[in-house]
A and B are shown apart, each in its own frame.
Chain A
């Protein structure tokens, strides 16, 4: 039998029609769905932060009297953020960079420093320093040209040094907001301390090598010439540095990620440029980090599981913590520059919001708990954050 086109046509029309209706329904549905998603589909918070009040509103937060918490975020997730605690109202503002700029801060925010009305946020794995206005936290400019930047320290109102994980110290001109020079260092430099005309910079050593092959030291840079003038040999991984009221410089050395040696706390006499005192931590009992000093410069603080407090004139390391860990993953530490209260962060399991505990410096009791962002790592106190 030959093909009867008419028959087939009728058959199709009668039997397929419900199907075609379904098809057109699906198509319409899809067009609707597609129409709904014109905006980029991106991560959202379950509870969106309330939008900031318009400029001029008296309730508007001005970032003048408070504490910035720099939330690192997860490496390669690009979810760094900044949390702000307003000291005058004790209110907490989450993700203030995103709210002010409508985009994220970047990948791994390491630290923040303030000069005048400007905040400098060092975004490590985005290789940027985001300069924000402390009036509204909007970006003024981005400084680029780093190699995995870690910390910034101001030399004066026109110059700052930035340490990098992957070689060299960057010299930033604060007028043009550009990297104008680099101070060659063969290795990863970490923390900085401005002392007189010098900058003391801790240097961890070659990147991604066993501690045995790393040369750990403190470089001394003459800030007038931007030249390394001296260096002092340190324990492996000198991660933090601070200065006490008697002008002694303190450095915590973690001993190496591979437990090469016992961690140490070393004291440097900056006049003689030598280590004049050294405390050795017992091995297998944690690794100290985040060395801080109180406003009067007579008490040191650091994290070693719990938070420890140590008088600068102590003859031995403290035996028990001021704030015990008790299931907390203490990660960042800051001492309020006026009140002397201890701010310690808990990064929890690193894949959820962290917490900040404000604790009494006399007994370690928690005074207040604040929620922060992902992996709160460092604190930045505004110059007038007292109240």
Chain B
């Protein structure tokens, strides 16, 4: 079995973590919010199963994490953020997490970082067909179908996923003071992805990807002691396609990517007489040229162009945005110990030059034979207002400025693979300090509190520490794997225009100071037993830090067994989530399920 590290130390001063397909295997029936909250250092704010789940990465608000699919943004340009509960893990192979300034290789504006969902071809594969069926608590049925076939020069990945759930879990209602069943939380979701990879000779690689997804969900109400429920529904239909060409020469290479995204969204609330359609098109283009003729020096200039077009019932007329990005990446290897990488970005947005974005990273490897790396970088970053911030009917503010971040981060990574490959340990510690200016906040107007308007008023200071320790240990037939993450994050309000504001120096709401998650799995005779624990510390619910959601610990257990019959594999997997039946809430008055189960049967054919 391939032992693959989580942490990517060799990244010239920038922090990057990979979660490969093996790590994601037990989460194939889940959505992205579940997997990130259980195995990454990104904090997930999840309202309730089937409801909105957003990120807080390194103490930043949700719109500062960019989620991408093979390098193209999944964030809706209207909101500037993604709902992770709508992204099924079965739609991709691996997750690449780029921390802070590392995200600048992909995009500007993600102060927290970038989460990139990746699928790459395995040229050795011939046929790999799979069918997985999950039956879980609360009428949750998930089916995954995969067909991957090809030759050494052509590979095709076809995947289908289907989920239907009622989320009718019991919870204790604090208002009626009795246990009731969650209602109006049903989700119907399906998707199909087709990805084709064609290698022409040794130099040309052509990739085409298409992903269609359909997501229809009821929006459950907040628990508020109401006997009346007004139905709310949300429908999303999204088509994403990418065409990519890569030319690889000995001393230079070139890549070009073009992508088209179309999303239709409908929000319906009959009692409020709202039935709004939002349609957007995004056309994304990126060209990169890599030149490495000069020894130890790699120069990578690039050009990005994005066109967004939104037709929304909430906007007056069609709104568009043109973003042209100039990109330059220069990597220089000083010697076997020191590497550096500089990234420069200059965006030209709707006819206006945006502030210049520079960043510099350094990596130092003090010893030849010890895998110890020291990393540091300093960066500046800008995020442009979302289209809702600018154009939301009556309330948007077209005069908003970009948000601005100055930050430094640094860390140390160490790994030790034993000579015979039976033992591997890696550990990393990193720290960051970031000061965000001109943060956009929607506030009521003093002249008319019934109107809220986004304004560049806030400043946020985020600083923190991340510590990870991963272990793989093979003892005869038994393999022990453990992955652990601890984060400390202090993210505070630093500016106000209000006379009585008590939030200065106080922690941002719904961002915990401490989180921990750990996974321990034992693998023996094709039997797997895994245990996952996550701890989330107190999160304040008021910006003056006078009220808080208390800390909680959740435990999950996974048991699985695979049977090999020639080229067939039959796997069984049982997950027990929230083993100790903890009655908790992640967001005030949004119920969470107690102990629940998921049973998966998977048939695979591989040749």
A interface residues, Cβ below 8 angstroms from B:
8, 11-12, 15-16, 19, 23, 26, 30-31, 33-34, 37, 39-47, 76-79, 102-104, 106-107, 123, 125-128, 142, 144, 146-148, 166, 206-209, 254, 257-259, 285-287, 289, 304-305, 325-331, 346-353, 355, 374
Q: Is B192 an interface residue (CB 8 A)?
A: no
List residues of chain B with CB within 8 A of the CB of A16: 475, 478, 480
B509 at the interface (CB under 8 A from A): yes
Q: How far is the CA of A207 from the CA of B480 in the complex (A)?
A: 61
Contacts of B542 in A (CB 8 A): 351-353, 374
**Chain A residue with the shortest CB-CB distance to B589:** A78
For residue A237, which residue of chain B has the nearest CB?
B450
| Measured CA separation A146–B225 after assembly (Å) | 13
How close is B255's CB to chain A, nearest CB, in angstroms? 45
Binds A, one of B397-405, B491-499, B567-575: B491-499
In the complex, the answer to whether A15 meets B544 with C-beta atoms within 8 Å is: no
Task: Give the chain B neighbours of A166 by CB distance below 8 A.
Answer: 271-272
Q: With an 8 A cutoff between CB atoms, is B501 at the interface?
A: yes
B499 and A126 form a contact (CB under 8 A): no
* B350 close to A (CB within 8 Å): no
Q: How many pairs of residues, A versus B, come closer than 8 Å at their CB atoms?
A: 207
On whether the beta carbons of A78 and B444 are closer than 8 Å, the reply is no
User: DSSP majority for the B interface?
Assistant: loop
Surface stretch bound by A, among B19-27, B137-145, B150-158, B171-179: B171-179
A31 proximity list for chain B (CB < 8 A)? 580
Distance between B192 CB and nearest chain A CB, rounded to angstroms: 34
- Binary interface encoding of chain B residues 544-562 relative to chain A, with 1 for a CB under 8 A from any of its CBs, else 0: 1111111111010000000
- Residues of chain A contacted by B503 (CB below 8 angstroms): 349, 351-352
CB distance from B521 to the nearest CB of A (A): 12
A19 touches B480 (CB 8 A): yes
Q: Contact between B224 and A208 (Cβ–Cβ < 8 Å)?
A: no
**Nearest 6 CB-CB pairings of A with B:** A34-B580, A286-B447, A327-B499, A107-B224, A287-B448, A352-B544
Q: Which residues of A contact B441 (CB under 8 A)?
A: 349
Tell me, yes or no, whether B79 is within 8 Å of chain A by CB: no
Interface string of B459-486 (1 = CB under 8 A from A): 0000000000000000111101000000
Shortest distance from the beta carbon of B227 to any chain A beta carbon, whole Å: 5
- Determine if B226 and A305 form an interchain contact, defined as CB atoms under 8 angstroms apart: no
Report B295-349 residues with CB < 8 Å from chain A CB: none
Is B124 interfacial (CB-CB < 8 Å)?
no
Question: A329 to B222, Cβ gap below 8 A?
Answer: no
**Interface residue from A76, A128, A350 paired with B222 (Cβ < 8 Å):** A76
B370 on the A face (CB < 8 A): no
Q: A352 and B447 in contact (CB under 8 A), knowing A40-B583, A103-B174, A326-B499?
A: no
Which chain B residues lie closer than 8 Å to A285 at the CB level? 447
CB-defined contacts of B273 to chain A, threshold 8 Å = 206-209
Is residue B371 within 8 Å, beta carbon to beta carbon, of the partner chain? Answer: no
| Contacts A285-B447, A287-B448 given; does A37 touch B552 at CB 8 Å | yes
Q: In the complex the two chains form, what is the Cα distance from A31 to B579 in whole Å? A: 10
Interface membership of B446, Cβ < 8 A: yes
Name the residue on B nearest A208 (C-beta): B273
Q: Are A352 and B497 in contact (CB under 8 A)?
A: no
The CA of A258 and the CA of B451, in the complex, are separated in Å by: 9
- Least CB distance, A276 to chain B, in whole angstroms: 27
Q: Are A128 and B500 in contact (CB under 8 A)?
A: no
Partner of B496, one of A104, A257, A349: A349
Contact of B548 among A8, A44, A102, A258 (CB under 8 A): A44
What is the CB-to-nearest-CB distance from A172 to chain B, in angstroms, rounded to a whole number?
A: 16
A140 to chain B, nearest CB (A): 15
Whether the pair A41, B550 counts as a contact (CB closer than 8 A) is yes
Q: Is the CB–CB distance between B480 and A46 below 8 Å?
A: no
Are A329 and B498 closer than 8 Å at their CB atoms? Answer: yes
**How many Å lie between the Cα of A106 and that of B446 in the bound state?**
26
Q: Is the CB of B550 within 8 A of A42?
A: yes
Given the known A-B contacts A8-B476, A128-B225, A328-B499, are A353 and B448 also in contact in the complex, defined by CB atoms under 8 Å?
A: no
Select A8's contact among B448, B477, B499, B501, beta carbons within 8 Å: B477
B526 in the interface (beta carbon within 8 A): no
B206 at the interface (CB under 8 A from A): no
CB of B268 to closest CB in A, whole Å? 12
Q: Quick check: A329 and B446 within 8 Å, CB to CB? A: yes
Chain B nearest CB from A177 CB (Å) reads: 14
* Residue B520, interface by CB 8 Å: yes
Assembly CA distance A348 to B546 (angstroms): 14
Chain A CB within 8 A of B598 CB = no
New contact pairs (19) apart from A106-B226, A327-B498, CB-CB < 8 Å: A11-B476, A30-B555, A37-B553, A41-B550, A42-B550, A43-B550, A45-B547, A47-B546, A77-B222, A77-B541, A78-B223, A79-B541, A103-B174, A106-B175, A146-B228, A327-B497, A329-B446, A330-B449, A353-B546
Residue pair B553, A15 in contact (C-beta under 8 Å): no
What is the bound-complex CA distance between A287 and B552, given in angstroms? 45
B172 engages A40 (CB within 8 Å)? yes
Give the chain A neighbours of B589 by CB distance below 8 A. Answer: 77-79, 104
**Which of the listed residues B177, B224, B225 has the most CB atoms from chain A within 10 Å of its own CB?**
B224
Query: Does B425 interact with chain A (Cβ within 8 Å)?
Result: no
CA distance A374 to B172 in the complex (A): 24
Residue B588 CB within 8 A of the other chain: yes
Q: Would you call B443 and A126 a contact (CB within 8 A)?
A: no
Q: Which residues of B contact A258 (CB under 8 A)?
A: 394
What chain A residues lie within 8 Å of B581 (beta carbons)? Answer: 34
Whether B286 sits at the interface, judged by CB under 8 Å, is: no
> Is the Cβ of A12 less than 8 Å from the Cβ of B588?
no
A44:B550 contact, CB within 8 angstroms: yes
**A30/B553 in contact, CB under 8 A:** yes
Is B582 an interface residue when CB atoms closer than 8 A count as contact?
yes
Residue of A15, A43, A329, A348 with most chain B CB atoms under a 10 A cut-off: A43
Interface check B456, CB cutoff 8 A: no
**A286, B226: Cβ atoms under 8 Å?**
no
Q: Could you tell me if A106 and B449 are in contact, using CB atoms closer than 8 angstroms?
A: no
Indicate if B584 sits at the interface (CB-CB under 8 A): yes
Would you call B476 and A12 a contact (CB within 8 A)? Answer: yes
Report B-chain residues with C-beta under 8 Å of the C-beta of A26.
Answer: 520, 531, 533
Whether the pair B222, A78 counts as a contact (CB closer than 8 A) is yes
B76 near A: Cβ within 8 Å? Answer: no
Kindly identify which residue among A11, A79, A287 contacts B450, using a CB–CB cutoff of 8 Å.
Answer: A287
Minimal Cβ-Cβ distance residue in B for A39? B583
Residues of A within 8 A of B119 (CB): none
Give chain A nearest CB distance to B504 CB in angstroms: 11
List, in ascending order, chain B residues with CB within 8 A of A352's CB: 501-503, 542-544, 546
Contact yes or no, B520 A257, CB < 8 A: no
Give 8 pairs: A residue, B residue, CB < 8 Å, sorted on A: A30-B555, A42-B588, A77-B589, A104-B175, A148-B271, A208-B272, A257-B451, A349-B441
**Complex: A142 Cα to B541 Cα, angstroms:** 27
Q: Is B274 close to A, CB under 8 A?
A: yes
Residue B585 CB within 8 A of the other chain: yes
With the chains together, A183 CA to B224 CA distance in Å? 27
Contact A331 B449 (CB under 8 A): yes
- In the complex, A33 Cα to B581 Cα: how many Å? 12
Contact call A347/B444, Cβ cutoff below 8 A: yes
Q: Report chain A residues within 8 Å CB of B499.
A: 326-328, 346
Do A125 and B224 touch (CB < 8 A)?
A: yes
Q: How far is the CA of A257 from the CA of B393 in the complex (A)?
A: 11
A77 to B444, CA, bound (A): 17
Residue of A nearest to B270 (CB): A166
Among B271, B496, B533, chain A packs the most CB atoms within 10 A around the CB of B271
A207 with B272: CB separation less than 8 A = yes
User: A125 vs B449: C-alpha distance in the bound complex, in angstroms?
Assistant: 19
CA–CA, A259 to B453, complex, Å? 14
Q: Determine the chain B residues whose CB is within 8 A of the CB of A327 once the complex forms.
A: 446, 497-500
Per-position binary interface string of chain B over residues 486-529, scored 1 when its CB falls under 8 Å from any chain A CB and 0 otherwise: 00000000001111111100000100000000001000000000
Q: Of A77, A254, A350, which is within 8 A of B588 by CB?
A: A77
Contact pattern, B 273-300, Cβ under 8 Å of A = 1, otherwise 0 = 1100000000000000000000000000
- A35: nearest residue on chain B (CB-CB)? B580
Closest to A8 in B: B476
Choose from A33, A78, A289, A328 the contact partner of B498 (Cβ within 8 Å): A328
